[in-house]
Structure 1
Amino acid sequence: MKVKICGIRDIETALGAIESGADAIGFVFAESKRKIDPEAAAEIIKCLPKGILKVGVFVNETKENIEEIVKVSGINVIQLHGDEASEFCKGFSVPVIKALSVGSPEDLLRLHDYSCEYCLLDSPKGKYRGGNGVSFDWSILDGNILKDKKIILAGGLNPENVAEGIKAANPYMVDVSSGVETNGQKDPKKIQRFIHEAKSVEREEVK
């Protein structure tokens, strides 16, 4: 099971997450308490291993600004977390994750509208897009709709429930931000536990 730790703002947390087994690191360039500027992200990214996915999170941003931030920061994946139409998600210089808010089974049908490399399933919108620490009803997930898509499960995941989420969604990757924080700051022990729990599910399935 692949794991993305999102909302990274310093090099120590990024390297600690990777050491614990993270496969992807997320940087928020949209309005958020975890927002980082492209230059600061670039300083972190240049210290990260090549094989790690460096994901930039955007909300209703212009294509021009996104591509400029890709250039400046060195991210190698774009996550579109706003109201972007399927046509907008095409033609970027790096792979795209399209995030969709899931509040009902009908919301899952929107997956067919997008031909992005990855689709991220998140909780309905709160104050900010994502990072709200609330999970959606995993029982509405339909394996027939999700098949043939690289699904990233997000929204309210934490070390206690990530294994349950993986069993319900069978995703390609899980994504966490607030679920590995203490008092609004990334907690290395929670990150370590989250990654361990997520990767243990895969080990159990392989037996």
Structure 2
Amino acid sequence: MTLVKVCGIRRIEDIEFLNKLLPDYAGFVFCKSKRKVTPNEAGDLIKRLDSRIKKVGVFNDNDFEEVVHTAENLKLDIVQLHGSEDEKYVKNLYRFKIWKTVNVDVSHVSKINIQDEIYDICSWNVEAVLLDSSVKGKSGGTGINFNWNVLKDLDINKKLVLAGGLNSKNIIEAIKIVTPDVVDVSGGVEENEIKSFEKMKNFIQKVRNL
């Protein structure tokens, strides 16, 4: 069964939606983003979060000590690294479960280089590789999906997390092509940049009905 992560949680109302719908993961962004929250804000939200939902902290080239301090204080279940963090950086976070992002340019049509990069990350001490869209150097929060066919026939020994422009209209096709372990949605369940209960519900139901 494909699991669901809803990312960019920043309001008490978002937490209430999550507690009703019970996705598998909730993502809190601690790097530059319109959905960024401070550790204190995230802490207040996490106190209200159903304990069955795992907590993911999203970082992008943050200071190492900041990542460790935030992850420990908030008791994060997953540390998601979205920047240019190298293997040494990841190795020093050995006490945490790590999801490392590989950014796929939306104009990319060849699967060879992307798959090589994914296989390289799989040799690191990570729990999962997360695939996200990038547009002209901008990664994360693009709202645009990349060519999922570049992942066809991919066979890795880590969990695969699919992100980037997912919504209730394309999620079934995405899962059929990529067969990810986890799908990660943010803007695709928003209305005017605010999380929508109905969109979240529709997305989660579609994933779980497959």
Same fold (TM over 0.5): yes
Question: Where in structure 2 are the equivalents of 1:20-59 lying within 5 Å?
Answer: 20-59=21-60
Equivalent residues of 2:25, 2:56 under 8 A apart: yes
Q: Distance in 2 between matches of 1:52 and 1:129?
A: 26
Q: Which residue of 2 aligns with 1:194?
A: 203
Change (3 A) 1:18 1:172: farther
Check whether the contact 1:102–1:108 (CA below 8 A) recurs between aligned residues: no
Which residue among 179, 185, 194 is the counterpart of 2:188?
Answer: 179
Query: Is contact 1:101-1:125 (8 Å) kept?
Result: no
Q: TM-score, normalised by structure 1?
A: 0.90
Q: Which residue of 2 aligns with 1:204?
A: none
Q: What corresponds to 1:205 in structure 2?
A: none
Structure 2 match to 1:97: 99
- CA drift of 1:85 comes to 1.2
Which of 152, 159, 162 aligns to 1:142? It is 152
CA contact (8 A) 1:7 1:28 kept: yes
Query: SS of the residue aligned with 1:159?
Result: coil
TM value normalised by structure 2: 0.89
Residues 102-113 of structure 1 mapped to structure 2, 5 A cutoff? 102-103=104-105, 104=108, 105=111, 106-113=113-120
Which segments of 5 or more consecutive residues in structure 2 lack a partner in the other structure? none
Indicate conservation of the 8 Å contact 1:29/1:36, yes or no: yes
SS at match of 2:13: helix
User: Does the CA-based 8 Å contact 1:45-1:75 persist in structure 2?
Assistant: no
Q: Is the 8 A contact 1:39 1:72 kept in 2?
A: no
**Aligned-pair RMSD on alpha carbons?**
1.6
User: Paired residue for 2:66?
Assistant: 65
Identity %: 37
Tell me which residue corresponds to 2:171.
162
1:116-142 Cα offsets, whole Å, 9 max, x none, are: 101101112467531110000011113
Spell out, residue by residue over 1:145-177, the C-alpha distance to the aligned partner (whole angstroms, 9 max, x if none): 333220000000001111110111100000001
* Match among 126, 132, 138 for residue 122 of structure 1: 132
Unaligned runs of 5+ in 1: 202-207
Q: CA deviation at 1:111?
A: 1.6
How many equivalent pairs are there?
Answer: 200
Distance 1:124 1:108, change over 3 A: farther
2:58/2:82 contact within 8 Å kept: yes
Amino acid at match of 1:119: V
Q: Contact 1:155/1:176 (CA < 8 Å) preserved in 2? A: yes
